[in-house]
Amino acid sequence: MPAVTQTREAVEKLGQSTYKWGFETDIEMDMAPKGLNEDIIRLISSRKEEPEWMLEWRLAAYKTWQAMEEPKWAKVAFPPIDYQDAHYYAAPRKKPGPRSLDEVDPELLRTYEKLGIPLHEQALLAGVEVPEGERMPVAVDAVFDSVSVATTFRKTLEEAGVIFCPISEAVREHPDLVRKYLGTVVPAGDNFFSALNSAVFTDGSFVYVPKGVRCPMELSTYFRINAKNTGQFERTLIVVEEGGSVSYLEGCTAPMRDENQLHAAVVELVAMDDASIKYSTVQNWYPGDENGRGGIYNFVTKRGACRGARSKISWTQVETGSAITWKYPSCILQGEGSVGEFYSVAVTNNHQQADTGTKMIHLGRNTRSTIIAKTISAGRSDSTYRGLVRVQPKASGARNFTQCDSLLIGDQCGAHTVPYIESRNMHARIEHEATTSKISEDQLFYCRQRGLSEEDAVGLIVNGFCRDVLKELPMEFAVEAQKLLQISLEGSVG
Amino acid sequence: MSQFLEISGLCAQIDADGQKKQILRGVDLSIPPGEVHVIMGPNGSGKSTLSYVLAGREEYEVTAGTATFHGQDLLAMEPEERAAAGLFLAFQSPIELPGVNNANFLRTAVNAVRRARGQDELDAVAFLKMAREAAKALSMAPDMLKRNVNVGFSGGEKKRNEVLQMTLLQPTFAILDETDSGLDVDALRIVAEGVNRLRAPTFSALVITHHQKLLDYLVPDRIHVMARGRIILSGGPELARQIDQEGYTKFLAEVA
Ligand SMILES: Nc1ncnc2c1ncn2[C@@H]1O[C@H](COP(=O)(O)OP(=O)(O)O)[C@@H](O)[C@H]1O
Ligand SMILES: [Mg+2]
Per-residue pLDDT of chain A (494 residues; tens, 9 = 90+): 333 333 333 333 333 345 555 555 555 667 778 888 999 899 889 988 999 999 999 999 999 999 998 888 778 788 888 888 888 887 765 544 444 445 555 665 565 555 554 433 333 333 333 333 334 456 666 665 555 555 667 778 889 999 988 898 999 999 999 999 999 999 999 999 999 999 999 888 899 999 999 998 888 877 666 555 566 788 999 999 999 999 998 876 655 656 667 888 999 999 999 999 999 988 777 777 777 777 888 889 999 999 999 999 999 998 888 788 888 999 999 999 999 999 999 888 888 888 889 999 999 999 999 999 999 888 888 888 999 999 999 999 999 999 999 998 877 888 888 889 999 988 899 999 999 888 888 999 999 999 999 888 988 898 889 988 988 887 767 777 777 777 777 655 53
As a whole number of angstroms, the distance between CA A348 and CA A79 comes to: 19
Q: Pick the residue whose CA is nearest to atom 18 on ligand 1.
A: B48
Average pLDDT, chain B: 92
All residues at 6 or more sequence positions from B173 whose CB lies less than 8 Å from its CB, including other chains: B4, B5, B31, B69, B86, B87, B88, B203, B204, B205, B206
Q: What are the chain B neighbours of A467 within 8 Å (beta carbons)?
A: 99-100
**CB spacing of B97 vs A443 below 8 angstroms:** yes
Residue A494 covered by a domain = no
Render B183-202 in DSSP notation, one character per residue: --HHHHHHHHHHHHHH--TT
Mutate to test the interface with A, among B59, B77, B80 (most CBs of A within 10 A): B80
According to the model, what pLDDT value does residue A229 have? 56
| Domain extent at residue A192 | 2-488
**CB spacing of B58 vs A449 below 8 angstroms:** no
Interface residue B80 vs chain A (CB under 8 A): yes
SS3 percent helix, strand, coil of chain A, rounded to 5, is 25, 35, 40
Task: State the CB neighbour count (10 A cutoff) for residue B118.
Answer: 7
**CB spacing of B55 vs A449 below 8 angstroms:** yes
**CB spacing of A3 vs B58 below 8 angstroms:** yes
As a whole number of angstroms, the distance between CA A171 and CA A188 comes to: 17
Interface residue B62 vs chain A (CB under 8 A): no
Q: What is the DSSP letter of A308?
A: S
All residues at 6 or more sequence positions from A476 whose CB lies less than 8 Å from its CB, including other chains: A118, A120, A135, A136, A138, A218
According to the model, what pLDDT value does residue A127 have? 34
Task: State the CB neighbour count (10 A cutoff) for residue B51.
Answer: 21
Name the class of domain B5-95+155-255.
alpha beta
Could you say which of A2, A450, A463 has the minimum Cβ distance to residue B109? A450
Residue A31 covered by a domain = yes
H helix or E strand, kind and range, residue A383: strand A382-391
Q: Per-residue pLDDT tens for B165-180? A: 999 999 999 999 999 8
Q: What are the chain A neighbours of B110 within 8 Å (beta carbons)?
A: 451
Q: Per-residue pLDDT tens for B209-238? A: 988 889 999 899 999 999 999 999 999 999
Task: State the CB neighbour count (10 A cutoff) for residue A429.
Answer: 12
C-alpha B42 to ligand 2 mean position (Å): 9
Residue A41 covered by a domain = yes
Q: What are phi and psi of A179, to 5 degrees?
A: -60, -35
Q: What is the DSSP letter of A76?
A: -
Half-sphere exposure of A333 (CA within 13 A, CB side): 34
Q: Pick the residue whose CA is nearest to atom 9 on ligand 1.
A: B49
Residue A388 covered by a domain = yes
Please choose from B13, B19, B23 the residue to mutate so as to test ligand 1's pocket, defined by most ligand atoms within 8 A of CB: B23
Ligand nearest to the CA of B45: 1
All residues at 6 or more sequence positions from A312 whose CB lies less than 8 Å from its CB, including other chains: A271, A275, A276, A277, A306, A338, A339, A340, A341
Contact (CB, 8 A) for A270 and A238: yes
- Residue B88: closest CA among B151, B164, B145: B164
Q: What are the sequence ranges of the domains in chain B?
A: 5-95+155-255
According to the model, what pLDDT value does residue A26 have? 55
Contact (CB, 8 A) for B41 and B226: yes
At position B51, the amino acid (one-letter code) is S
Q: What is the DSSP letter of A301?
A: E
According to the model, what pLDDT value does residue B125 have? 86
C-alpha B228 to ligand 1 mean position (Å): 10
As a whole number of angstroms, the distance between CA A121 and CA A105 comes to: 18
Interface residue B36 vs chain A (CB under 8 A): no
Distance set, CA A306 to CA A267, A275, A330, B227 (Å): 14, 8, 10, 69
- Residue B83: closest CA among B166, B16, B7, B142: B166
Q: How far is CA A455 from the centre of its chain?
A: 27
Supply angle C-alpha B191, B196, B199, rounded to 5. Answer: 140
According to the model, what pLDDT value does residue A130 have? 34
Q: What are the chain A neighbours of B91 within 8 Å (beta carbons)?
A: 446, 449
Instruction: Count how many domains chain A has.
Output: 1
Residue A68 covered by a domain = yes
C-alpha B25 to ligand 1 mean position (Å): 13
Residue A47 covered by a domain = yes
